[in-house]
Structures are given as C-alpha cells and as structure tokens.
Structure 1
Amino acid sequence: MNNHENPSNSTKETAQTDNKNLMAIAQYLKDGQFGHKKSIPPLEQWHPKHCGAMDLKIKANGEWWHEGQLIKRQSLINLFSTVLWKEDDNFYLKTPVEQIEIQVEDEPLFVNQVDEIQIEGQTYLQLTTSTDDVIIVDEAHRIFMREFAGELRPYVQVRFGLNALIQRAAFMHLVQMGELTENAQGEAQLRLKSGNLLLQLDS
C-alpha cells in the first residue's frame, strides 16, 4: 500500500484553500464598510498572523490571475485592491485576522487617467488608477522613473509602500501637460509641476 500523498489531491486541496481564502476576504469586505470603491481600510492598524501564500498573481500588464484563470470581474479586482499590502518587498492581501502572500510581477496598481485640478488656486496633477484610486501628486505621492525588464517605466507613489505604474496612454497625456527639455548629458527630460512640487524625470 502506498502511503505517499497523491500530488493531484494535494494540488486540489491547495486550490480549494485558495478559493476559500479569496472568497472569505471578499465576503469580509462586502460585509464591512470597505466595499465603497474609494474606501481604504486602516491596514496599518492591523497586525494579523501570516497565513501562507495563495496562487494569485498580478502581472506586469495589469492582469490578475487566480489558479491559472484570468479574473475578469473588475468589481472583484477593485475590492481586493483595497487590502493590498507590502511588507519586506513582499505583497499580501491583508485583513484584521490574516495576511496572505500573493505574487506581483512589478506593481499591483495601474494609472489609466490623468487630469489637472484646481485646489485653492493652484493646479495639481490628479492620477486615477484602473481600480479607482485617486492620487494627487505631491511630496508624499511623487512620480518617478524605474527600470523593469530592461525598460524605463513611470510610476507614482500611492499608499503603504505601494506604487502604481503609469500606463503608456496616461503617460503621454502627462508629457503633453509638462515641458520636455534636455539634461546635462543631452538626454530628454520631462518637467512636471503639481502645486508647488516640481518634478524632473529623465527618460
């Protein structure tokens, strides 16, 4: 008689656990006051135990995959994005009772809209993500450039150490709002102004 565990049974049990964890988080968010698309729970006040990892991956192109299946429900992605947490360069879904590690290829948030808004007579850059985060560019939410997979990409600081990739169309809109110059090395440089903050981005 073979006493070794059947690998297919182990995989099936892991998948069932992942589905249970994911649905439990979704139900918690829906039952609480955190279902509104712009409401972020006080994750920094929660200190749950680590509960392992689940097969959830946010790809560099913005797609969310769970158990090898593309998550197509944007409302579900919006919901889970409110409990994204980063700690020691690892990414998690976090609730008051559990913290489950997930995989993120680059960054978990993605800017797809750029606007200029007026606040107390000053013009600010406002960035909106595909999961309905609204970010006013300021000292705590700066735009910066960083390399990923051999390509220099633009990002903005969002919250809890999380950044958002500024997608190509949105970045081209930023270029139109800014001023293109050259740095001392003769390389293109984009200057952006948001309130009193002046940003200089080398490409």
Structure 2
Amino acid sequence: MEIHADGSWWHEGGRINREALVKLFSRILKREEDGRIWLVTPYEKVIVHVEDAPFIAVRVDRAGEPDREQTLAFLTNLGDVTLAGPDAPIRVAFDEETGEPAPYVEVRGGLEAKLARSVFYELANMAEPGPDGDDTLGVWSQGVFFPLMQEL
C-alpha cells in the first residue's frame, strides 16, 4: 500500500480510484512511535509507504476575528477537518538545498496533511510579525503562534 505525494493511493502497483474506499482506509491509518504508518483493521495490520504526507490540506478558513484567538480550520483532500492549535500544530520544513518551504498541519494522531500551495499562500496573506517583535512572520490559531519562515 502506498500514498504518493499527490495524495493518490496505490495497492500492488494499481491506483485505488474508488474515493469511498480511500476515505475508509484513511480513517484507519495509524502512526507508530517510530514514524511508520499502518493501516490497522481488527484482523490485520498493513504497512503504508507514504511519499510525503498521508493527506493534503486543500482549504483553510479563519473563524473569529483576525487576532491571536482566531482559529484556522483546514480541510483535507479526504474530508477531514482539523483546527490548528496546541494539539494540531502547523510546521514548515525547508529543503536544505533550495530553501523551498514544505508546510504541514497535524490532522490526528501524528498524521499530517501537506498544505496545497494555494493554502500556504492564503496563510502567507494572513501572516504577521511574531509575538517577540522579531522579524519572524507567522499565523495565530487558538492562541498559538506558528512561524511560516526560516530563522535567519
């Protein structure tokens, strides 16, 4: 079983095209402490090879006034909704060679969604200076500040 970087699911070399089946499988994904991702049923446990992240965040909405207490809600390609905050952090990894950002938000149980480029651009439009008055730009959600750029 594989999940490609574009969010497509594959089994034994063939793409799984039934959306309902993919959604069902996505509900029983589990991340182990060692970082491996498994499909866990009452009868078996199957390793899932994930190229990047098991989900893609395809939309972000802001609830509340644009301030520290606003809530950012992310919708994934498989219909999951996650509210960024202390239990669902936003993180941005950076390619060591190119410096290109790769943003993620936790969906559940250590499973992350990579933010689609358009979603990351929306976050960038919401960005403001960090709470310490430094040059770090980021976003607030549920009282937590999430930096969107590398430390200089």
Q: Verify same fold: TM over 0.5.
A: yes
User: Does the C-alpha gap of structure 1 residues 62 and 149 become closer, same or farther in structure 2, counting only changes over 3 Å?
Assistant: farther
Task: Count matched residues.
Answer: 142
Counterpart of 1:146 (choices 83, 87, 93) is 93
Q: CA deviation at 1:57?
A: 0.8
Matched, 1:198 2:150: no
CA distance in 2, matches of 1:149, 1:57: 25
Task: Please report how far the alpha carbon of residue 149 of structure 1 lies from its aligned counterpart in structure 2 after TM superposition.
Answer: 8.7
Partner of 1:93: 39
- Counterpart residue type for residue 61 of structure 1: D
Q: Cα offset for 1:96?
A: 2.3
Give 2:12's aligned amino acid: E
With structure 1 as the length reference, what TM-score do the two structures score?
A: 0.63
The structural deviation recorded for 1:148 is 5.9
Aligned match for 1:155, one of 97, 104, 107: 104
Mapped to 1, the partners of 2:50 and 2:96 lie a distance apart of 14
TM-score (norm 2): 0.82
Partner-residue secondary structure (3-state), 1:202: coil
SS at match of 2:121: helix
SS at 2:70 equivalent: strand
Residues of 2 paired with 1:77 and 1:95: CA distance? 14
Q: Which has the larger radius of gyration?
A: 1
| Deviation at residue 138 of structure 1 after TM alignment | 0.8
Please tell me the residue identity of whatever aligns with 2:120. Answer: F
| Percent sequence identity over aligned pairs | 35
SS of the aligned residue for 1:131 comes to coil
8 A contact 1:60–1:104 mirrored in 2:
yes
User: Counterpart in 1 of 2:120?
Assistant: 171
Q: 1:129 and 1:149, CA in 2 relative to 1: closer, same or farther beyond 3 A? A: farther
Pairwise CA distance, 1:152:
2.8
Q: Unaligned 5+ residue runs, structure 1?
A: 1-55
RMSD over aligned Cα atoms: 2.4
Does the 8 Å CA contact 1:106/1:148 hold for their aligned counterparts?
A: no
Q: Which runs of 5+ in 2 are unaligned?
A: none
2:52 matches 1:103: no
Counterparts of 2:42 and 2:55, CA distance in 1? 22
Give, in whole Å, the separation in 1 of the partners of 2:108 and 2:56. Answer: 13
